[in-house]
Amino acid sequence: MEKVVINSPLGFVLIEGDEKGISKISITSEEVVKSDTIPSMFTEVVQQLKEYFDGHRTDFQFKMNPSGTEFQQKVWQELLKIPFGKTISYQEITKTLGDPKAIRAVANANGKNPLWIVVPCHRVIGSDGSLTGYAGGLWRKKWLLDHENPVKQQSLF
């Protein structure tokens, strides 16, 4: 397993993967050593993340290989269907999966998403519209949702 660390507007991003694909993308505020060079296997994902943060990318297309249970994989596949700039509730996901009572299991799988931003767990909100728990911190979730908002407020000043 190889690793690379890049900087982003939200902190340091750790990317892990091998020849089978990218298995983990995570964020941290902790001071870590940023990678001086980007190995070729990470070039595509690093470029796409940069384009996302620059506002030029709305989806990701590189080889992914996240590790998880069959149920987690199903939830993550549902997350990939959430359009850029849109949100969905945990309840809506449980209905799509055919088990409206599985809300805790869906929330748990959402929280274990290993591919930060790419599998857009930040787009899942409470059924009342509230920003619910987020492994990267609610301030990051808010930042990401604002970043993806297609109707960005223009300053009058």
Catalytic residues: 121
Which helix (H) or strand (E) segment holds residue 99: the answer is none
Residue with tokens 């694909």: 21
Joined together, the tokens standing for residue 127 give: 């059924």
Spatial CA neighbour of 108 closest among 151, 50, 68: 68
Q: CA dist 56 to 48, 53, 105, Å?
A: 9, 8, 34
